[in-house]
Structure 1
Amino acid sequence: MFARTALQLALWLHVALEQSLPKKGLQPFIPDSEGDLLFLLDSSGSVSYYEFSRVKEFIRGLLRPFTFGPSDVQTSIIHISTVPTIEFPFDRYLSSGAVQQAIRDMQQLMGDTNTGKALSFAKEKFFTDEAGARAEVPKVLVWVTDGFSTDAISQPMQLLKDMGVTVFIISTGRGNYLELSAAASQPPEKHLYFVDVDDLPIITKELRDAIIGTMHWPAWGEPFQLAMPLWGGGMGERQPVPQFSLGP
């Protein structure tokens, strides 16, 4: 009788301990984070197919633990190419599984590396309610680049930061440190990463923690004001934008 009771107690303790330990390969979902997270992804011809696929895996790993929904995190992707192109708007996918599948299915566009146009598009169009963005939530931009752009980035990037957007930059090429450090939010040592495309997983946790810190409500300051769009049109998937001048 005593032996049976002792065995049952031992089995119960073993099961309880096993359930209390984190499962290998599983990541806990992240609660209490709310914000709109936009990826500016170099989809141009200067990036190889292999590099593009590695960046896709990096983004999937970065996003995997987040909880998605209208009261949580929403994410979207703009392709940097000859013309900036939407992969999906913020409110298209509201579950982790749907986001993961959408990124897995994403195709490289090739073309020119017109980052400045993509940044201007992000400012004038993509942080609006038309694109599924929300008023008064933190705004985070993650720009993944090989360090090369065929047009100017400083003015449109500064305008985004002036709107309250926190900018993280990941350069998988050499890039211009002075230009990229000025483009990233300050201080650059917390917002700018230089890393080989094969080593992207090394920065995943650090970048994710930084994004969470930006999106966590107690750490966030003034509410974000949505900009009015400068042109009309629907928000179809992979929707090219009109041409416009980047001049003052």
Structure 2
Amino acid sequence: MAYTIVIAPKASNCKGANVADIVFIVDESGSIRTENFQLVRSFLHSIVSGLNVSLTRVRVGIVSYNTEATAHVYLNTFKDKAGVLQYINILPYNGGGTNTGAALDFTRENIFNEKKGSRKGIQKVAVVITDGKSQDPVTEAATRLRRAGVTIYAVGVKDATESELKDIANHPPEKHVFIVDSFANLKPLTQTLQKIMCKNIIDEAIKKPDIKKGLSNCFLIIVFMDVKLISFFSPVCERKDEADIFFLMDASGSIVDEDFSVMKKFIIEFIHAFNIGPKHIRMGLVKYSDDPVLEFDLAAYSDARKLERAVEYTEHIRGRTFTGKALSKMGDLFVSRRQNVPTYLIVITDGKSDESDPVRIPAEKLRAQGIKIYAIGVKDSNEAELVEIAGDPKRTFQVTNFDALKSIKEDVIRDICIPDGKDSLTLGKYELGRSDQVTDDVSAYCAIMCWVHLSELPKVLVLVLCNQSFETSLVDCLFPIISVINDD
């Protein structure tokens, strides 16, 4: 048996986010004016300066737009950082209108394009910088870009519309939308945007299936003062052995077919997080609009692949939104649940239930039967109604679009996996915490120990040590492990 030990420092700036394709989409409309556009150039210069730019690491592209979009730097135009920075210094400013939607489509079609240097299997990031409301629609164009696998950040200056920025960017907005009241305040934003963007890139790298598989038997020890805390990093629900889970999905007419497909994909990804089987995790699915329709019950399918196919074949029925009626039906369907096994209902809806169809009483009846309810609202859902359904704000989730469902998936799964009333799971004499955030106002040292099954090699013990400040996510410590796995 081989042992590998790696000692690595804490990641700073963007050194941990080593591989990505990043495109800046820059508003050059007439409302900005020449002197302010120079501040935009300085902002871009500062952001790019902190990136590890090369053709094998971080590639950078630049698009400017007014009424029309113009490609200035493709993802394969420059081979190093110096070339990109020199071009930023002379980035043209022409004035004109503000067609942000067209610029998003242009970037998807012409920049995130393998012929223009975009790499397959590499994280794709777009940063939109604008000072006003778009003169063309942005929602559908942003959706197309996100569904092409691009993570979008939106930076708004002065008269930019917050609601529009949220429509453009990924969820959650607190990590993807940034607003400043003047161009002069772009400079202080540089470090914040860079830090969040780079951490998100690392987070997404860790979520990749090959990385998660390699890290499936890892645990993390954080040592500060005389206290030990262990955070478990693994496929999030290995420790939940038994549960009966029903999905109740809105299939009303306000949901377009593409969004209905995204909702089905969310459920399928949820299935893959659990150990599916008649003696382990069982799942059922009900869709609803005017009336609830049972797709399959808890005992219908005994393995994940069959469940996945059943979800894929679920058809969109349209109609109005009668969530209360659907909740009332669930009481009858849960009669097949197993005794002394945790029971869950996950409700996904994009709107408020019909005025003649209240949700509070049927939801209370389900919870009185010991059924824990999660309420997930999308787009025009009503926050108060979601709380009535779940009975607890902590089990409600609200996102601005269906693409954002994937951003809350692991939060829901993790909550299901940790027993009621506990903030941690026990591993021997140690505790496995809910959070991966060090909140104590001290420096900590963390050691990640990991049994990695590498192809054609014996198990390798990977140990990573790194200094960890209280305000930094533990993801800073994880990147060296990724490097070890990739290098081997």
Q: Tell me which of the two structures has the higher relative contact order, counting C-alpha pairs closer than 8 angstroms and 6 or more residues apart.
A: 1
Stretches of structure 1 lacking an aligned partner (at least 5 in a row) = 1-26, 224-248
How far, CA to CA, are the matches of 1:50 and 1:221 in structure 2?
Answer: 43
Aligned length: 197
Please tell me whether the aligned partners of residues 49 and 108 of structure 1 are also in contact (alpha carbons under 8 angstroms).
yes
Give the strand-richer structure, 1 or 2: 2
Match of 1:66 among 41, 51, 73: 51
Is 2:165 the counterpart of 1:165?
Answer: no
Is 2:194 the counterpart of 1:208?
Answer: yes
Is 2:168 the counterpart of 1:183?
Answer: yes
The answer for the alignment partner of 1:218 in structure 2 is: 205
Q: How does 1:1-248 map to 2 (within 5 A)?
A: 30-195=15-180, 196-216=182-202, 218-221=205-208
Stretches of structure 2 lacking an aligned partner (at least 5 in a row) = 1-11, 211-488
Please give the per-residue CA displacement for 1:173-230, whole angstroms capped at 9, x wherever unaligned: 232222221221101011111112101121111111122123336335479xxxxxxx
Report the identity percentage: 26
Distance 1:112 1:222, change over 3 A: farther
Please tell me whether the aligned partners of residues 214 and 220 of structure 1 are also in contact (alpha carbons under 8 angstroms).
no
Please tell me whether the aligned partners of residues 60 and 100 of structure 1 are also in contact (alpha carbons under 8 angstroms).
yes
Give the drift of 1:82.
2.1
Give the drift of 1:41.
0.2
Report the 3-state secondary structure (helix = DSSP H, G, I; strand = E; otherwise coil) of the residue aligned with 2:153.
Answer: strand
Rg larger for: 2
Please tell me whether the aligned partners of residues 113 and 150 of structure 1 are also in contact (alpha carbons under 8 angstroms).
yes
Report the 3-state secondary structure (helix = DSSP H, G, I; strand = E; otherwise coil) of the residue aligned with 1:47.
Answer: coil
Query: TM-score by structure 2 length?
Result: 0.39
How far, CA to CA, are the matches of 2:151 and 2:123 in structure 1?
Answer: 8
Q: Quick one: which amino acid aligns to residue 108 of structure 1?
A: Y
Distance 1:215 1:83, change over 3 A: same
Q: Quick one: which amino acid aligns to residue 187 of structure 2?
A: P
Distance 1:183 1:28, change over 3 A: closer
Q: Quick one: which amino acid aligns to residue 139 of structure 1?
A: K
Give the drift of 1:58.
0.5
Query: TM-score by structure 1 length?
Result: 0.74
Please tell me whether the aligned partners of residues 138 and 220 of structure 1 are also in contact (alpha carbons under 8 angstroms).
no
Report the 3-state secondary structure (helix = DSSP H, G, I; strand = E; otherwise coil) of the residue aligned with 2:163.
Answer: helix
Q: Quick one: which amino acid aligns to residue 200 of structure 2?
A: T
Please tell me whether the aligned partners of residues 14 and 195 of structure 2 are also in contact (alpha carbons under 8 angstroms).
no
Aligned CA RMSD, in angstroms, stands at 2.0
